[in-house]
């Protein structure tokens, strides 16, 4: 299995949405999406849960996960969400930063906007690995 790793600081919104959208849209059985955070929160942000539910994807039972060296080593590609630009723990040769705005503390509209941007990028990524 080849892993696509989505990383942000808390693993409570952007990277969780990216993981879920990748696994929802991906049809290549050789790939799976995972996500993690450098400083995981205690729970997924409610705005992310609501925004994903609108797409028919339930992330309400997901838990933020700590980024590990094994995840980094096993990942085929790594995408950071903009909060840890130039992340010192991920190898630059397989890391790309998506530079997405953090919706934390904002209204549901911002979560939708970020979700839709992630979905566009995920769809491009999925088409690349077909």
Whether 8 sits among the annotated catalytic residues: the reply is: yes
CB 62 within 8 A of CB 46: no
pLDDT in tens, 4-29: 999 999 999 999 999 999 999 999 99
pLDDT in tens, 87-128: 667 778 899 999 999 999 999 999 999 999 999 999 999 999
CB-CB contact of 36 with 16 (8 Å)? no
Q: Is 120 a catalytic residue?
A: no
Q: How far is CA 29 from the centre of its chain?
A: 19
Q: How many domains does the chain have?
A: 1
Q: Which of 8, 48, 118, 125 is catalytic?
A: 8
* DSSP 8-state assignment for residue 102: P
pTM score, two decimals?
0.94
Catalytic option among 87, 114, 122, 125: 87
CATH code for position 17 = 3.40.50.2300
């Amino acid at each position: 299995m080849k892993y696509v790793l989505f990383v942000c600081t808390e693993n409570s919104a952007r990277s969780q949405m990216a993981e879920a959208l990748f696994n929802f849209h991906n049809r290549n059985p050789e790939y799976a999406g995972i996500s993690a955070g450098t400083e995981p929160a205690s729970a997924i942000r409610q705005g992310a849960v609501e925004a994903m539910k609108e797409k028919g994807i339930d992330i309400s039972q997901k838990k933020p996960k700590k980024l590990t060296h094994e995840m980094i080593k096993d990942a085929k590609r790594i995408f950071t969400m903009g909060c840890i630009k130039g992340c010192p723990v991920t190898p630059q040769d397989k890391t790309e930063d998506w530079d997405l705005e953090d919706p934390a503390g904002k209204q549901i509209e911002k979560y939708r906007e970020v979700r839709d941007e992630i979905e566009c990028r995920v769809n491009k990524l999925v088409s690349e690995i077909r």
